[in-house]
Amino acid sequence: MNIESINKKGILKNSPPTLVRQQIINLRKASPCINCRQIGDKVGVSRERVRQILSQNNLQTKRFKPPKPKVQCLNCGKPTTHKQFCSIQCGKDYKQISVECSECGRIFQISKNELIHRIKRHKIDEIFCNKQCYGRYMGIHKAKANYKILSSLSKIVEINFRDLINDQSN
């Protein structure tokens, strides 16, 4: 074998078919994780020819893929191949929490993100199951606050009005 018979990839030019066949079989057995194209590039034949030779010798034509690792569902603990949850329902259940309405006392489900959003938006520590409960709460509690403001304003106006009358009479 001389240097001129080896091509740029280090493969023998015009190598005998039995040698190519044996190289393909040895590569598949040595490293089952490489695909047919990679084997063909190393030996100097097409991917299809590699597939044909492997299937004639009852070897695996597709590369070996290691199985996905099993992970436990964050909600129920069952083994799963999914990223976090074994089902869509488990994902919803995990993200939902039970909360009691501050107005009517009804227990309802709400997502954690929505709960945080409501607390930030309303700037109150109360949580409501619907708009009616929110309206009742605001009507009762904000009306008292507005009444206090109005009564203090009316006292200020009365004082200023008395001062005006006293000034005009003098």
Any domain includes 147:
yes
pTM of structure: 0.38
The count of structural domains within the chain is 2
CATH of the domain at 17: 1.10.10
User: Does residue 145 sit within a domain?
Assistant: yes
Check residue 6 and give its pLDDT.
45
pLDDT at 143: 63
Q: What is the DSSP string of the chain?
A: --GGGB-TTS-BTT--HHHHHHHHHHHHHH-TTS-HHHHHHHHTS-HHHHHHHHHHTT--SSPP-PPPPPEE-TTT--EESSSS-SSHHHHHHHHEEEEE-TTT--EEEEEHHHHHHHHHHH-SS---SSHHHHHHHHHHHHHHHHHHHHHHHHHHHHHHHHHHHHHHH-
- pLDDT in tens for each of the 170 residues of the chain? 444 444 455 555 556 778 888 888 888 888 888 888 988 888 889 989 888 988 888 887 777 777 777 788 888 888 887 678 888 888 888 888 888 888 888 988 888 888 888 778 767 778 888 888 888 887 777 665 555 545 555 555 555 545 555 665 55
Question: 153 lies in which domain range?
Answer: 101-162
Domain contains 116: yes
pLDDT of residue 152: 53
Does residue 155 belong to any structural domain of this protein? yes
